[in-house]
Structure 1
Amino acid sequence: MKPVLLSVLALSGLLSTSCRQTTSQAPSQAEINAIGLKRGSITMCGPAQGQKLGTASFGTSCPAAAQPDFNLALSLLHSFEYDEAEKVFARVIAREPGCAMAYWGVAMCSYHPLWTPPSPAELTKGAKAIALAQRLAGKTNREAAYIRALAAFYQDWNRTEHKVRALRFEQAMAAVHAQYPQDSEATLFYALALDAAADPADKTFVKQKKAGFLLQALYPGQPHHPGILHYLIHTYDYPELARLALPAARQYASVAPSSAHALHMPSHIFTRLGLWDECIASNRAATESARCYAASAGLPGHWDEELHGLDYLTYAYLQQGQNQLARAQWQYLDTIRRVSPVNFKVAYAYAAIPARYVLENRLWQQAAHLPRHPGPLDWQQYPWQAGIIHFTRALGQAHLGQPDSARREVAALRGLHSELVRQKDAYKATQVRIQLLAAEAWTLLAEGKAAAAEQRMRQATDLEDHTEKHPVTPGEVLPARELLADMLLQRHRPQEALAAYEANLIKHPNRLNGLRGAATAAAQSGETAKAARYRKQLRKLAPVAPNPEAAAAHLSSYRRP
């Protein structure tokens, strides 16, 4: 089904027919059990003096005794602590089975708008919960509007593409916001819906800018609201917009330190701005909190949030030339055999952390033979992440002068790209396509076909320029424009290489190899002042020299004929 926007009239009809209140009777225990609610005590790690999750409030028609728990669940929901939020919403349902908004909360916990689309099991749970919320009478008009809006997302979930349903939710929340303009929660969830429905290829950031305008208007009056701070970070998680979120990034962790996700999220902006000390501090705190959560919750193995933070932490260490600490993250990752839940974030970290280390350090021999992590993954379920391994191997083999081996990795990438096209996952297919073009470019160069190699590399660069990174990653494993600059420098065209390095540094400030390449290209171009400036930045960025093996490998990549 093509993602066609519904008209306001059609959407209104859809929502009104989907929310006919048929009875005021509370659901039976069997109906509640059929949802499959997560239950149990709330597990959070943070300050010794109780939970600190910020301040969020939503007045409901449920009995007053349920209001504190509802607000707690809402605060958890705004920090994407979905499992713990669902437990609290379940606690409200256990006490007040007629509380319609508690079922809405469960359905919101199953959506997670900015992550990967919900699984069939999550969609089934959310659809059951929102159906019960729709059925219950006694709701206020405001509550009914929220429930209708979320029902628009779940309707026909097994026959309608996720993107179409996300657009439905955006339009429905726009209607709720228009109907209740003074309701800050309606504004917040509308902003979140805008971010979730934004087109990754839209470089004008129309929806993100609209969301940012709404959130910035709320911020002065509610500086301790976790959702405002959190969504500002996501809204501006783009090179062109990142500086707008820096105040929120520097505040969010202190507002909600009991949330591992809140401790990590500021590093999205720190990464965008090349603020590596702050990024490292953020993810050290987040990974420690995630380990505490896994132990406290009795999870089988490690929590997925820990691996997500490890990827950001590894990336930041590499940008400061702290290879020993970066390597330590990879070695630690190799000890992790059980993760809960196993998902796309876990697969990405397993692939990206070792790939980053060998590629950033130009360790081509290790790159050429990079193994897949023998952890709990079925790699066939994660074509995008598996592509990172093949991309890394192809670059390693091409740089070692082994184009036949590299061709086999290119063929594997082509197969993964075809699989993602078949799955109609356009974003991930594009990401693998970029890697495929770059890997083919360096393979062609190894075969002595320089002109064709440059053409492929420019195609990869143009494609990457028109897409954005996924929130799961701190950045591309290697930026395409930096790879183009490397190729131009290797082909003895330093002035063109310098322009490419500088363009890439605008999007990826304080990237260590970008600065190294720019310094080398500037020196070879005779631009001594510029070369000196980049060397000064390098000394400030990475005062401790990288290990000799990495430095020699890096330089040798520019000395090939």
Structure 2
Amino acid sequence: MKRVVLMAGAALAAVVAGPAAVADATADKATRDLIDRPQVCGPAGDIETGAPIASMVMVDGFGTGGFPIDTANAEAQAWFDHGVRLRWAFEHSESVRAFRKARLLDPTCGMCAWGEAWAMGPNLNGGGNTDEAQNAALRVAREARRLGRDATPLQKQMIDALIQRYSGSKATRSRRFAERMDTLLNRNPDNVVLAAITADAWMLKADRWWDDEGKAADPGITRAMEVLEQALVLAPNDPGNIHLYIHLTEWSDDPHKAIPYGERLAALAPGASHLVHMPSHTFYRVGRYRDAMMSNVNAVALDLRYASLASPPGGVKAMPLHGHNIHFGMGGALMAGGSEEGLKLADWFLATYPDTPATNVWRQIVTNNAYAIYGRFGSTAQVAALREPPETHPMLRISWRYARGEAAARAGDAAAIRAEAEAIKSLRESDAFKAGPMAKERGDFTEVLQRVLEGRAAMVEGNAGAAVAAFTRAAEIQGQQEEGGDPPALWFPTRRSLAAALLMSGDAAAARDKIDELLEDWPSDPYSYFVLAEVEAVLGNASAAEAARHNAAVEWIGGAMDLKLA
């Protein structure tokens, strides 16, 4: 599982969502938090919104979920079930509100209190881990035990297990909860509800999911995989277990296992933005970039639908995963050449998040995808209309320069490309830039952008040596972290640019090796296959060139390609 900094996509993407707690984090704290509490789909702060409960609206299309509990009130049961569905759709705040509404309808319902305490606690988005959150959840869990006289014996045991999650030694809470839930599952092996809660608990307990070879790095991850695969045999259409399975397999040695589940998840929960988004984790990882793009185009539309129907606090801008959906969609569009949908997403991103704090480095890095969309696909007028960010935001100014440089590369204007690269270099060397937070992350990311533009200019000029040098440096920096999937902060593999430069330099064999190497991390990258086709043609391998051209067309919808833009 990818948990570190420069190119990690999920943690980056999600900090665009409203006033996230990490907005003003220092470099050390941001890095430490990501390592200690890996996020798979973005941040979710502690869940205490103070939002109105009684007026909450139940939006349809969130799939199946829930189970009979200790209430005779049909409305309370319905809201409890909806709370479960919302929890597995990673709508954590809304899940808490739903359980609280169930409690309003039946104040004597113990399992309604259990649901509230469960949803308040730790989740794979990184929320529910503070002392304040866990102390509050413990109080509600104890209320559940007091109220749950009419709950079933199994449900009483679920309440007791949840109390373990929030009490006693902090160092052992997650393990004790996972073990308690696993014991209950072993006694009730056909209960897919217990399976999802148990797998989730083991995933939360593990500090690292996978090693560098995609093998389980924690026994709890091995157990979570067993639990989910057994549950999906019993209930192959269960949204909660499918959701977790996609996350768990994404960085395993075989992400393809989740494809059949991902392909049907959106239809199982057609109103749940995050579940419609979720298949894109698998799609991007296996190289289905167009599908990744469209999953998120649809998810963004569903966020807007939910906001209009349910009026959640803060509206769509405050939805913790809305920015993640846009970022993921832009990543797919950039890789697939999806200019039409990509530009819509970029427009919406910049309109929705115009007030990025100058100290929020992660959000500024994520915003680069929007600028990259304009640079790669925008018209001359669209690029010219982009407003230069203020001096207080050098990261955004660099991304703005990068967009202009990519647009100049499309126009074949080497002088203009170099001017933007030089402007980026000057911004990077300024005292204000060097004094900001997360200096290494900012420095590495922006140097890649500078080197890419330097390489683009050299390609336009026909200076193969300079292009190889610039792209070698960019690829060296990008290669410090794992590439591909989720999507990464840097939107494309700079090794494909290096391969194109190597081909220009006359070293076709080295270019082919570079493409073969990068396709392991960026499977089915259409532009890389285009470069490979040109390489094979130079090497005289006509059939291999034709096969590569065919592969390039599978995921590409962006029109003519050019080696100088690879």
Same fold (TM over 0.5): yes
Residue 117 (structure 1) shift = 4.7
Q: Counterpart of 2:493?
A: 479
Q: In the aligned structure 1, how far is the partner of 2:380 from the partner of 2:515?
A: 21
Match 2:519 to one of 469, 485, 505? 505
* Larger RCO: 1 or 2 (CA < 8 Å, sep 6+): 2
Q: Kindly, what percent of the aligned residue pairs are identical?
A: 19
Please say if residues 366 and 396 of structure 1, whose CA atoms lie closer than 8 Å, have aligned partners that are also in contact: no
Question: Within 5 A, what are the aligned runs for 1:93-492?
Answer: 93-97=103-107, 99=109, 101-111=111-121, 113-117=123-127, 124-134=132-142, 137-138=145-146, 140-151=156-167, 168-170=173-175, 172-178=177-183, 180-181=185-186, 182=188, 184-196=192-204, 197-199=206-208, 202-203=211-212, 204-206=214-216, 207=218, 208=221, 210-238=223-251, 240-298=253-311, 302-303=316-317, 304=319, 305-336=321-352, 350-358=367-375, 360=376, 400-402=417-419, 404-411=422-429, 419-420=437-438, 435-436=445-446, 438-439=448-449, 441-442=451-452, 453=470, 456-465=473-482, 469=485, 471=486, 473=487, 476-489=490-503, 491-492=505-506
Residue 439 (structure 1) shift = 4.2
Of the structure 1 ranges 273-282 and 232-241, higher mean CA displacement relative to structure 2 is found in 273-282
Partner of 2:418, secondary structure, is coil
In structure 2, the CA distance between the partners of 1:345 and 1:54, relative to structure 1 (3 Å rule), is farther
Q: In the aligned structure 2, how far is the partner of 1:177 from the partner of 1:103?
A: 22
In angstroms, what is the RMSD of aligned CA positions? 4.7
Q: Deviations over 1:464-512 (max 9, x none)?
A: 23x675x5x4774122433443453454433222222222223323323
Residue 231 (structure 1) shift = 0.8
Q: How many residues align?
A: 486
Tell me the TM-score normalised to structure 1 length: 0.70
In structure 2, the CA distance between the partners of 1:107 and 1:351, relative to structure 1 (3 Å rule), is farther
Partner of 1:173, secondary structure, is helix
One-letter amino acid of the counterpart of residue 195, structure 2: T
Please say if residues 228 and 241 of structure 2, whose CA atoms lie closer than 8 Å, have aligned partners that are also in contact: yes
Please say if residues 490 and 557 of structure 1, whose CA atoms lie closer than 8 Å, have aligned partners that are also in contact: no
Q: Deviations over 1:38-79 (max 9, x none)?
A: 52444455xxxxx3433333565x444344432221121111
In structure 2, the CA distance between the partners of 1:319 and 1:454, relative to structure 1 (3 Å rule), is closer
Q: Does 1:537 align with 2:551?
A: yes
Residue 118 (structure 1) shift = 5.7
Q: In the aligned structure 2, how far is the partner of 1:516 from the partner of 1:128?
A: 56
Please say if residues 526 and 553 of structure 2, whose CA atoms lie closer than 8 Å, have aligned partners that are also in contact: no
Q: In the aligned structure 2, how far is the partner of 1:188 from the partner of 1:169?
A: 15
In structure 2, the CA distance between the partners of 1:480 and 1:213, relative to structure 1 (3 Å rule), is farther
Partner of 1:236, secondary structure, is helix
Query: What are structure 1's unaligned runs of at least 5 residues?
Result: 6-32, 46-50, 156-164, 422-428
Q: Does 1:518 align with 2:532?
A: yes
Please say if residues 284 and 313 of structure 1, whose CA atoms lie closer than 8 Å, have aligned partners that are also in contact: yes
Of the structure 1 ranges 363-372 and 482-491, higher mean CA displacement relative to structure 2 is found in 363-372
In structure 2, the CA distance between the partners of 1:34 and 1:503, relative to structure 1 (3 Å rule), is closer
Please say if residues 342 and 373 of structure 2, whose CA atoms lie closer than 8 Å, have aligned partners that are also in contact: no
In structure 2, the CA distance between the partners of 1:339 and 1:258, relative to structure 1 (3 Å rule), is farther
Q: In the aligned structure 2, how far is the partner of 1:170 from the partner of 1:363?
A: 54
Please say if residues 270 and 276 of structure 2, whose CA atoms lie closer than 8 Å, have aligned partners that are also in contact: yes
Of the structure 1 ranges 253-262 and 138-147, higher mean CA displacement relative to structure 2 is found in 138-147
Q: In the aligned structure 2, how far is the partner of 1:198 from the partner of 1:289?
A: 32
Q: Deviations over 1:334-366 (max 9, x none)?
A: 4446899xx9997676442232442x5699999
One-letter amino acid of the counterpart of residue 137, structure 2: A
Question: Within 5 A, what are the aligned runs for 1:36-115?
Answer: 36=50, 39-43=53-57, 51-58=60-67, 62-65=70-73, 66-97=76-107, 99=109, 101-111=111-121, 113-115=123-125
Q: In the aligned structure 1, how far is the partner of 2:301 from the partner of 2:48?
A: 35
Q: Does 1:496 align with 2:510?
A: yes
Tell me the TM-score normalised to structure 2 length: 0.69
Please say if residues 503 and 511 of structure 2, whose CA atoms lie closer than 8 Å, have aligned partners that are also in contact: yes
One-letter amino acid of the counterpart of residue 192, structure 1: D
Residue 214 (structure 1) shift = 1.6
Please say if residues 368 and 392 of structure 1, whose CA atoms lie closer than 8 Å, have aligned partners that are also in contact: no
One-letter amino acid of the counterpart of residue 510, structure 1: S
Please say if residues 249 and 257 of structure 2, whose CA atoms lie closer than 8 Å, have aligned partners that are also in contact: yes
Of the structure 1 ranges 190-199 and 452-461, higher mean CA displacement relative to structure 2 is found in 452-461
Please say if residues 293 and 333 of structure 2, whose CA atoms lie closer than 8 Å, have aligned partners that are also in contact: yes
